[in-house]
Structures are given as C-alpha cells and as structure tokens.
Chain A
Amino acid sequence: MKNTEIQSSRRSLPKSPTSIQGLDQITGGGLPKGRPTLICGGAGCGKTLFAMEFLVRGATVYHEPGVFISFEETEKELTANVASLGFDLDKLVKRKKIWLEHIHVDRREIEQSGNYDLEGLFVRIHRAIESIGAKRVVLDTLEALFSALPNDLILRAELQRLFRWLKKKGVTTIVTAERGDGALTRQGLEEYVSDCVILLDHRVNDQSSIRRLRIVKYRGSTHGTNEYPFLIDEDGFSVLPVTSLGLNYISSDERISTGIPRLDTMLSGKGYFRGSTVLVSGTAGTGKTSIAAQFAEAACRRGERVLYFTFEESPSQLIRNMDSIGIKLEPWRKKGLIHFHATRPTLYGLETHLTTSIKLINTFDPKVVILDPINGFVIGENQTEVKTMLLRLVDFLKMKRITAFFTSLTSTNDSMEMSDVHISSLIDTWLLLRDIEIGGERNRGLYVLKSRGMANSNQIREFRLTDNGIELLDVYVGSEGVLTGSARLSQETKDDAEQLLRQQEIGTKQFGLERKRDAMEAQIIVLRSEFEAEESEALKVIGIEKARNERFTQDKIKMSKSRRGDVSVKRSGNKKTKITSTRKIL
C-alpha cells in the first residue's frame, strides 16, 4: 500500500533522485526538484557527507552538475575528506561537474556601518551556477553566516530572499543546519526552507552508536515517516528503508537438502524450502553450529555460495571444530564458495550490523546465509530492536530468495519453545535441540517444532555427532519410555538378551522333540530286528518242517511204489500255499 502511495506521489511532484541507497525509496523518488531541502542534525551526524553525496551522484549519475558552497571547510579540506568515500572531487571539478566554493567569514574582521545586503553571496552563487550550468546546489551550514555577520534581522530577510531566488533559478538545493535545543535548527532555518526537512540523528545506546534519518516534512508528497537507520562507510551513505518492504515476495517450491539425510526425511523427505528461514534453537552444546555447518557444507556441495556470519567463534576455530566431526569446510573456503564473516555482536550497533550484513550479502551474492548465533545481539532490554533488525534482514533475504539459517541459544531456565529473541513468527522451519538426561548421561534430541508448508515428522530423534558428521537415530520408545544414549543401548541389549533367551528355549524344545523322535525310531528298528530274527527262526522251522514233510511224502511214495499204491502227491502242494499266506499276515 505504501508503495502505491509513493508511486502516485511520484507523478504529482517532480523529484531529484539522490541515488543514495534507500533514500529515494522512502522519499518516493528523491528530494523535491528545484526546491530547497533542509538537512539538520547534530555535530558529526553526516550532514556534509549527505549533501556531498547528493552532488557527486547528481554529477556522475544524472548529469546534473552541482555547486558546493562551503562555509566551514575549504575546498582542499572538502576534497580530502570525501576522498575516503571514493569521490574524486578534483577530477569532477576539472571536468566542470562540480564547483567548490569556500566562503570564509570571520566576524573579528568585520565592522558594520549602516545597512547592507548579501548581494555578494548571491553574485558568487550565481557565478558558480552559471559557470558549470549547475542543477544542484549545496549550502553547507548556512548558519555560519549568523556568527560571522552582524545584524540578524538583515540576515534573516536576506536568507529568505536567497531561498526565493534559488527556487526561481530552479536549482535543487540542500541547506544544512546544526540542530538546536528543542528546535530543528539553531537559527530557525526551517521557517524559510519549508519544502522538505530531513533530520539526521546520531545517538548512542548501550555503548553502540546508531545513525538514523527521519523525514520531518515533505510538502506535496507522501513519504516514509519512520526513523530509518543509515550507514556511512567506504561506499558513502546508505539508508535502510527495510521496514517499508512489504510481504510480497514470491515463495519458492524448490527444496534443498539439510545435509543430514534423516533430517530431510523428517521434513517430508526433501529438506528446507529455498528462501525460507530456518531456526535451530537449543541449550548450550546441543550441536546448533554443527547443524549449521552441515547445512553449509551441503550447500557448497551443490555449488552454492554460503555466507557464514559467526558471532562467537573465529573462522579458523569453527573450521577446526567442524573438522573434528567430519564436516570439512576448509576446501570450500579455498574454492571461495563459503565466506566467513566474524565479528563480535557488540562491535557495532544493530543497524550497522544490519547494513554491513546487507552490503556483504549484496556483494557476495550467496544462496545461503547463516547467522550463528543471533542471541549475541541481545544486550539488556533491546529485544524489540533485535527483532526489528532480524525482521528486516529476513525480509531482505526473502526478497533475494536466500535461505536464512539462524541459530539461537536458549537458556535452560526458559521453556524450550521460547527463543531468547522472540522471533518465532519470522521462522518457517524451527528445529529444536534438547538435552535428554537419563541415567547420568546427557544426550541430544532433535525434533521439528514447526515447518511451514510441509508435512513434518513429529518424532524425537536422537542426534549424534560422529566422525562422519551428524547422525540421527531413532530414540528407544518402549515400555520404559523414551530412551537415548547408553540408556537406549542398554535397553536394546536387554531386549536382545531376552530375545536370545527365548530363542534358546525354543531351540531346547525343538531339540527334545528331535531326540524323542530319534528314540522312537530306534525302538522301531529294535522291534523290527527282533521280529526279523523271530521270522527267520520261524522260516527256518518251517523249512525244516517242509523238508521233513517232503521227505515224508517221498518216503510215502517210495513206500507206496514199493507197495504199488496209487495215493495222490498233490497234498504237499496245498500245504505250500498255506505257508505263504501266513508270511503275508506277518
């Protein structure tokens, strides 16, 4: 909604782009074209730099030459001061892009006698503008005139005339002024410059300084009304209007591996969404950094760039520690795929951290950004600010479709689900690491607290750091409850032993049965052999009987032959048949 407002205002009022990162966004296109703008702020808040960057960018980017009228610094000083920002004023002056004019006034040398006007100043500004065809003019600390020239009444009237004159000339003007007590400027210049007033502020909170910018007024245009943090570094001025970013980024369906196969499985088999925000929270020593490093390594394997912000360990220490669990980061660092940025969170203010992070992200162009850990930023009662900062960072990363990975240290007193920095609402996938203390032992457990947009496992997994990286194991869930580590192992051994015993019992029973069968079969053999013995005996007897019988018959025949009798021999044949049938029965 804010965007459309700004766009509509862009049509209504011509603007002069500053090309200062972020400022054009919150002003809807820049400073009012052809009108004066007042920049006010305390000493050292960057007024001169702001003005100078406006001129230099105008000259180099928009082909609008500019005049810098300085009441405080000489041309040489100015050139030297902004050289550190990469502005080569000498060159620009030679190419007639910039005109520097130092106006030196010293009250001690001046006596007033009667009325005067500032025609001299007008003529000098006019000469400067005409010489290079300037479209932009800076009057750096016009208020110096008040201390240099007598008679405020004349001065005020003349300044009013000056602003009207500048407007008539159609040059976009920046007037800088020191901040006064309770007023925007010491001399009330805001009364004369009423088109646009920008306030710069430099304050120190908890020993770290924060620069902020606010548009106090902008006639004829809507503008962002918040205080925006800004940064002055080697690239000049940058304002961070990140709060103005909307929730209109395009989300990705692409999934990327966590580097831990079983964790991928827990996240419906595919891992995190690209461009999502992942938080790993847990108490000290639960392995947050290891999960981060494993993820980083997996990303490097895919050939993606990783930017690793480490706020507690130095890069070499981190690499060494990860090396010990088999996560090799050094080769990737040598290849330039992973870049470590180690700073103490307390080194600068939050805004500076944010701005440097964003700049670094812009230059390194990573696919994965890791912040390890985010707690370090919380000092005292600044949780809201930390959250705001992270919100801006998350928004920024989502816009760029960079996967963000945060680790967060939770204190043991708090509920596990409560992160120190209350950022849960920003997080898409939240992994929780926890200690499980059983049987005089601490083990690590991992579970997925939430994961937006995917089916995720509800199981607690035991999380082990091995020589080959991270391993997830099923925890023992049985009659004894959830067990991990040695307890799990001992329970598993106990189970194994019980099973063995049962198997042995079955074996014994089977063996007994076998033996019984053997015994039975042996008996059968004995019986048979007894029977066979008996049978052969019987057959023997039968044979003898038969032989005797035969002999008896033959004898009878012999006798009948000898007696010439005619008795049939057939009877012996009948007897034979009878014996055979007896065997069959046996």
Chain B
Amino acid sequence: MTIKYQKPKTARRKIQPAPGRPQWNLRLYIAGKTPQSVIALNNLRLICQDQLKSNYSIELIDILKHPRAAHDDQILAIPTLIRKLPLPQKNIIGDLSDRESLLAGLDLMGR
C-alpha cells in the first residue's frame, strides 16, 4: 500500500503570487467519495466563489489514494482544509457546513 504520493505539479505552478494581490492556495483532504467529502467540497467552492472570486486554487487530495500525504501534512481529521497560502498556514476540520467558523478559520471575516 505504499503508494507514492505525487505532489500535483499543476498546484506548484499556481503558487505564483501576482504582484499586489494575494494568491489563495487551498488544499482539501478527503477519504474517498463520501457524502461528507462532497458536502465539504461544495461548501468550500461556494465560499471561495463568494469571497475570493477567481483568485484561488483548490487541490483535492484523497488520502485513500495518497496515504503518504496524510503523513506529510499531519492529517488526522477528515475532511481537513489547509490554507497553504497566504501564510500563515491554517487548518480547518469538518465538512465546512458552519460558514461562520469557516470564514474565521480562513481569516475572511469582515470582508
């Protein structure tokens, strides 16, 4: 089961902050296509479209396929959302159904 997790190369290309504007890089960890993971992804997309317009990228990582990734990013809870950029890194766990805490977790309150 040691499937080597290949870091998506496209993601790296996306982390190129355009001058004067913060580039948002989000990573969502799920474990298989469960109702919970579908809900989480939908919730995340809604918020991003609403708050960040098109200035973001989302990486979806299935730890069942890439178990090593769970180790590298110290994932315990599923789903886990990691804000890779902008720094500092932020972790939000859950299906992201609580909009308030999701906004707080992403430092998007008051926007």
Interface assignment of B93: CB less than 8 Å from any CB of chain A: yes
Which of B7-15, B18-26, B51-59, B64-72 lines the interface with chain A? B64-72
Residue among B36, B68, B94, B97 having the largest count of chain A Cβ atoms under 10 Å = B94
Q: How far is the CB of A90 from chain B (nearest CB, A)?
A: 19
Determine the distance from Cα of A445 to Cα of B90 in the docked complex, in whole angstroms.
Answer: 85
Q: Chain A residues near B87: list those with CB within 8 A.
A: none
Interface assignment of B63: CB less than 8 Å from any CB of chain A: yes
Taking residues whose C-beta sits less than 8 angstroms from the other chain, chain A's interface range is: 20 to 34
- Asked if B90 and A130 make an inter-chain contact with CB atoms under 8 angstroms apart, the answer reads no
- Asked if A123 and B64 make an inter-chain contact with CB atoms under 8 angstroms apart, the answer reads yes
Determine the distance from Cα of A114 to Cα of B36 in the docked complex, in whole angstroms.
Answer: 10
Q: Chain A residues near B80: list those with CB within 8 A.
A: 116, 120
Which residue in chain B gives the minimum CB-CB distance to A131?
B2
Q: Chain B residues near A110: list those with CB within 8 A.
A: 77, 91-93
- Asked if B1 and A113 make an inter-chain contact with CB atoms under 8 angstroms apart, the answer reads no
- Asked if A115 and B63 make an inter-chain contact with CB atoms under 8 angstroms apart, the answer reads no
Q: How far is the CB of B100 from chain A (nearest CB, A)?
A: 8
Q: Chain B residues near A115: list those with CB within 8 A.
A: 36, 94-95, 97
Which of A101-109, A197-205, A403-411, A565-573 lines the interface with chain B? A101-109
- Asked if B94 and A123 make an inter-chain contact with CB atoms under 8 angstroms apart, the answer reads no
Q: Chain A residues near B90: list those with CB within 8 A.
A: 109, 111
- Asked if A112 and B101 make an inter-chain contact with CB atoms under 8 angstroms apart, the answer reads yes
- Asked if A116 and B95 make an inter-chain contact with CB atoms under 8 angstroms apart, the answer reads yes
- Asked if A124 and B92 make an inter-chain contact with CB atoms under 8 angstroms apart, the answer reads no
Determine the distance from Cα of A448 to Cα of B95 in the docked complex, in whole angstroms.
Answer: 84
Determine the distance from Cα of A119 to Cα of B30 in the docked complex, in whole angstroms.
Answer: 9
- Asked if A149 and B76 make an inter-chain contact with CB atoms under 8 angstroms apart, the answer reads yes
Which residue in chain A gives the minimum CB-CB distance to B2?
A131
- Asked if A114 and B95 make an inter-chain contact with CB atoms under 8 angstroms apart, the answer reads yes
| Residue from the list A104, A117, A131 in contact with B77, Cβ < 8 A | A117
| Residue from the list A116, A124, A145, A149 in contact with B67, Cβ < 8 A | A124
- Asked if A120 and B78 make an inter-chain contact with CB atoms under 8 angstroms apart, the answer reads yes
Determine the distance from Cα of A112 to Cα of B105 in the docked complex, in whole angstroms.
Answer: 8
- Known contacts A105-B74, A110-B91, A111-B93; decide if A116 and B79 are in contact (CB<8 Å): yes
- Asked if B94 and A112 make an inter-chain contact with CB atoms under 8 angstroms apart, the answer reads yes
Interface assignment of A126: CB less than 8 Å from any CB of chain B: yes
- Known contacts A103-B76, A149-B77; decide if A127 and B71 are in contact (CB<8 Å): yes
Q: How far is the CB of A203 from chain B (nearest CB, A)?
A: 35
Determine the distance from Cα of A145 to Cα of B93 in the docked complex, in whole angstroms.
Answer: 14
Determine the distance from Cα of A489 to Cα of B96 in the docked complex, in whole angstroms.
Answer: 104
Determine the distance from Cα of A114 to Cα of B77 in the docked complex, in whole angstroms.
Answer: 12
Q: How far is the CB of A181 from chain B (nearest CB, A)?
A: 27
Q: How far is the CB of B62 from chain A (nearest CB, A)?
A: 10
Interface assignment of A360: CB less than 8 Å from any CB of chain B: no
- Asked if B78 and A117 make an inter-chain contact with CB atoms under 8 angstroms apart, the answer reads yes
Interface assignment of B48: CB less than 8 Å from any CB of chain A: no
Q: Chain B residues near A121: list those with CB within 8 A.
A: 76-77
| Residue from the list B43, B78, B102 in contact with A119, Cβ < 8 A | B78
Determine the distance from Cα of A251 to Cα of B102 in the docked complex, in whole angstroms.
Answer: 77
- Asked if B75 and A120 make an inter-chain contact with CB atoms under 8 angstroms apart, the answer reads yes
Q: Chain A residues near B63: list those with CB within 8 A.
A: 119-120, 123
Determine the distance from Cα of A538 to Cα of B71 in the docked complex, in whole angstroms.
Answer: 158
- Asked if B91 and A111 make an inter-chain contact with CB atoms under 8 angstroms apart, the answer reads yes
Interface assignment of B38: CB less than 8 Å from any CB of chain A: no
Q: Chain A residues near B76: list those with CB within 8 A.
A: 103, 105, 118, 120-121, 124, 145, 148-149
- Asked if B92 and A112 make an inter-chain contact with CB atoms under 8 angstroms apart, the answer reads yes
- Asked if A114 and B96 make an inter-chain contact with CB atoms under 8 angstroms apart, the answer reads yes
Within 8 A of B (CB), among A298-322: none
| Residue from the list B36, B70, B92, B99 in contact with A117, Cβ < 8 A | B36
Determine the distance from Cα of A124 to Cα of B68 in the docked complex, in whole angstroms.
Answer: 8
Within 8 A of B (CB), among A71-123: 101, 103-105, 109-121, 123
Q: Chain A residues near B89: list those with CB within 8 A.
A: 109
Q: Chain A residues near B31: list those with CB within 8 A.
A: 119-120, 123
Interface assignment of B46: CB less than 8 Å from any CB of chain A: no
Q: Chain B residues near A117: list those with CB within 8 A.
A: 36, 77-78
Q: Chain B residues near A109: list those with CB within 8 A.
A: 89-91
- Asked if B92 and A113 make an inter-chain contact with CB atoms under 8 angstroms apart, the answer reads yes
Q: Chain A residues near B64: list those with CB within 8 A.
A: 123
Which residue in chain A gives the minimum CB-CB distance to B80?
A120
Interface assignment of B98: CB less than 8 Å from any CB of chain A: yes
Residue among A113, A115, A118 having the largest count of chain B Cβ atoms under 10 Å = A113
Which residue in chain A gives the minimum CB-CB distance to B47?
A113
Q: Chain A residues near B92: list those with CB within 8 A.
A: 110-113
Q: Chain A residues near B36: list those with CB within 8 A.
A: 115, 117
Determine the distance from Cα of A131 to Cα of B68 in the docked complex, in whole angstroms.
Answer: 11
Which residue in chain B gives the minimum CB-CB distance to A154?
B77
- Known contacts A113-B105, A114-B96, A114-B97; decide if A123 and B67 are in contact (CB<8 Å): yes
Determine the distance from Cα of A149 to Cα of B93 in the docked complex, in whole angstroms.
Answer: 9
Determine the distance from Cα of A130 to Cα of B40 in the docked complex, in whole angstroms.
Answer: 29
| Residue from the list B2, B75, B96 in contact with A113, Cβ < 8 A | B96
Residue among B43, B70, B90, B101 having the largest count of chain A Cβ atoms under 10 Å = B70
Within 8 A of B (CB), among A132-174: 145, 148-150
Q: Chain B residues near A112: list those with CB within 8 A.
A: 92-94, 98, 101
Determine the distance from Cα of A103 to Cα of B89 in the docked complex, in whole angstroms.
Answer: 18
Give 15 CB contacts A-B under 8 Å. A101-B71, A109-B90, A110-B93, A112-B92, A113-B101, A113-B102, A113-B105, A116-B80, A116-B95, A117-B36, A118-B77, A120-B77, A127-B71, A131-B1, A149-B76
The 3 A-B residue pairs whose C-beta atoms are closest, nearest first, are: A111-B105, A114-B97, A114-B94
Having A109-B89, A112-B93, one finds 19 other A-B pairs with CB under 8 Å, namely A109-B90, A110-B93, A111-B90, A112-B98, A114-B39, A115-B97, A116-B80, A118-B77, A119-B31, A119-B78, A120-B31, A120-B75, A120-B80, A123-B70, A126-B1, A126-B67, A127-B2, A131-B1, A150-B93
